Structure 1
Amino acid sequence: MKKMILGCLGLALVLSSCVSQKKYADLEAKHKEAQDLLNSATVKLNSCLEDKASADARLKTLEEQNAFLKANNQELINNMGNLTTLTAKGADNLEKSLESLQEKDLTIRKLQDAVTRRDSVNLALVQSLKGVLGNLDDEDIEISVEKGVVFISISDKLLFRSGSYNVTDQAKQVLGKVAQVVNNKPDFEFMVEGHTDNVPYRSGVLLDNWDLSVKRATSVVRILQDDFSVDPARMTAAGRSYYIPLAGNDTAQNRAKNRRTRIVVLPKLDQFYNMIEEGMKDPNIR
């Protein structure tokens, strides 16, 4: 009986040992499977983390590019607005420039018309002088127009004796003809200039050629005023001495050319402006 009991106990221990080892083996297999799954999941997790990091980096780059493009787009929009403003201003400035050019062109045309009228008046004055003076020797009197101004140059031998400032009777006849023309042109002023050669003046009470040239100019002015009723307010007397010669003072012939009295006929400035204003009223030049 005792042996039977011991035998049963031994058999129970053997069976118990066999069951435990089988369970252990199953558990170990399951553990390995779980470990493999864990390792596989870890690998996948790391791969996902890397993909996420890559995606995050790409997202950041895209966000930066998007921000840059938005900024550029806004800048372009602003520039387009500025360009539109500039274009409008440019068009306005261009229009104003064209208007200014048209106004300047009109002014120039009006001035040219006024100058043409002045030249026409001067030409008529020259023709009148030549008509009344007749066939005087060209060496004694010369009429010319330079830069819109009429010059009447009368030789010294026709007006004065040598070293004198008293006007000769023959010269008074010539001055009377000049007065006839200038009296018919009340809108003109004129200046009488005395010119000498460079030979020093040493006779009489005058100091030098300056005095002589001025004295001769005032003598002519007085003749025009007293004998021929030319308005003295229209006349100016001036002496130029020998400083504006027509030729070199190296020969007697050249010195004779330099001894002269010149009458410079000038339109009054207000008359010239009146001609411009009249031109502006002319519909043909608008």
Structure 2
Amino acid sequence: MSKKRHEHHEEHADESWLLPYSDLMTLLLALFIVLYAASAVNTSKLEEMSKAFKTAFNSGISIFEQGAITEDDQMRKRTDETDERKDDGNKNKSREALMQQEQQNLEQLQKELDKYIGKNGLSSQLDTQLNHSQLLITIRDNALFPSGSASIKPDSQKLAKAIAQMLQQYPGYEILITGHTDNQPIKTAEFPSNWELSSQRALNFMKILLENGKFDPKHFSSTAKGEYRPLQPNDTDAGRAVNRRVEVSILRNYIEPADANSNDRTLSAIANDNKQP
């Protein structure tokens, strides 16, 4: 009996092949799932992943850190960018308001100067011009100095003080005083050339202005152009008389970006404005 049962057991079919077969089926199922997922990829998610890679490479953030950025982080970033745009807009509005106020101030100052010029019969000796960079006051030399001298006439000091009184109402502007001569050579112990004459004339006029204690001297400067910035040809007496002058420039604090990249203004730019009659 025992021998027969043993023989029957040996004839039973071997089912060990089922284990690797089931593993193979599982792998095939996983493969088909991956292939299906790849064919139905979410384009929006792919774009987000692409942006994440770009940001990581451009900003130096590792892809693992980038992956940790949440939707809340993105919302905060967009909010910050919106706030920055608002701040820039407010700054632009504020600058425009300041520019408008400055324009009004300089126009009012020009009116006061022109009124003083007309009231005192000085239209042939003084002139004002308002342009994109400055309010320019031009004073002929015969209104201030004796011929060949840098000493301001006693009666002309009243003119300088009157101009100072009007200027003091509008503080905070840079004031540049520039001396000019004609091309007639001068050579004295005091003035070896027209450079020294034009320089001393500008300096002396500035000193009269600064006698007004309400001015801050740090806003004032003087320079000389000699005979090299004429308004008229120097071949006539009338032309030479126009070229001998002192100019007072009240420089704008706010100018259009098209006129300058910043508020920095060079003397050469101001000189170009001064060349215009």
Helix, strand or coil: the match of 1:240?
strand
1:240 matched to 2:225? The reply is yes
1:130 matched to 2:114? The reply is yes
Helix, strand or coil: the match of 1:238?
strand
For the 8 Å contact 2:181–2:227, the answer to whether it is kept is yes
If you compute each CA radius of gyration, which structure gives the higher value, 1 or 2? Answer: 1
What is aligned with 1:145? 130
Helix, strand or coil: the match of 2:226?
coil
CA pair 205-153 structure 1, distance change in 2 beyond 3 A: same
CA separation in 2, counterparts of 1:159 and 1:100? 54
Structure 1's unaligned 5+ residue stretches are 1-62, 270-286
What is aligned with 1:205? 190
Structure having the higher helix fraction is 1
Letter in 2 for 1:208: S
User: What does the per-residue CA deviation read over 1:230-276, in whole Å, with 9 as the maximum and x for residues that have no partner?
Assistant: 6461432221212222233333322221111011124679xxxxxxx
Helix, strand or coil: the match of 2:41?
helix
For the 8 Å contact 1:195–1:261, the answer to whether it is kept is yes
Shift of 1:75: 5.7
CA separation in 2, counterparts of 1:230 and 1:95? 48
CA separation in 2, counterparts of 1:246 and 1:135? 25
Which of 90, 93, 103 is the matching residue for 1:109? 93
Shift of 1:117: 0.9
What is aligned with 1:54? none
Shift of 1:161: 2.0
CA pair 202-74 structure 1, distance change in 2 beyond 3 A: same
Letter in 2 for 1:120: Q
CA separation in 2, counterparts of 1:188 and 1:96? 36
TM-score between the two structures when normalised by the length of structure 2:
0.60
Aligned length: 204
Which of 247, 250, 262 is the matching residue for 1:265? 250
CA separation in 1, counterparts of 2:191 and 2:214? 27
Shift of 1:79: 4.1
CA separation in 2, counterparts of 1:220 and 1:110? 36
Which of 140, 143, 146 is the matching residue for 1:158? 143
What is aligned with 1:184? 169
What is aligned with 1:18? none
For the 8 Å contact 1:141–1:155, the answer to whether it is kept is yes
CA separation in 2, counterparts of 1:160 and 1:230? 26
Q: Calculate the aligned-residue CA RMSD, in Å.
A: 3.4
Shift of 1:92: 8.5
User: What does the per-residue CA deviation read over 1:66-112, in whole Å, with 9 as the maximum and x for residues that have no partner?
Assistant: x7995474165264422355598999887766554443333222111
CA pair 75-257 structure 1, distance change in 2 beyond 3 A: farther
Letter in 1 for 2:98: A
What is aligned with 1:81? 45
Structure 2's unaligned 5+ residue stretches are 1-27, 53-70, 255-277
Between 1:212-221 and 1:187-196, the stretch displaced more is 187-196
User: What does the per-residue CA deviation read over 1:122-174, in whole Å, with 9 as the maximum and x for residues that have no partner?
Assistant: 12222222333424343310112122522111011111122111112332221
Letter in 1 for 2:91: T
Shift of 1:225: 3.5
Between 1:234-243 and 1:108-117, the stretch displaced more is 234-243
CA pair 90-169 structure 1, distance change in 2 beyond 3 A: same
CA pair 84-119 structure 1, distance change in 2 beyond 3 A: same
CA separation in 2, counterparts of 1:111 and 1:155? 36
User: What does the per-residue CA deviation read over 1:149-201, in whole Å, with 9 as the maximum and x for residues that have no partner?
Assistant: 22111011111122111112332221121122123334344222111122222
For the 8 Å contact 1:197–1:256, the answer to whether it is kept is yes
CA separation in 1, counterparts of 2:233 and 2:37? 81
CA pair 93-167 structure 1, distance change in 2 beyond 3 A: same
Letter in 1 for 2:145: F
Which of 104, 122, 130 is the matching residue for 1:120? 104
CA pair 248-101 structure 1, distance change in 2 beyond 3 A: farther
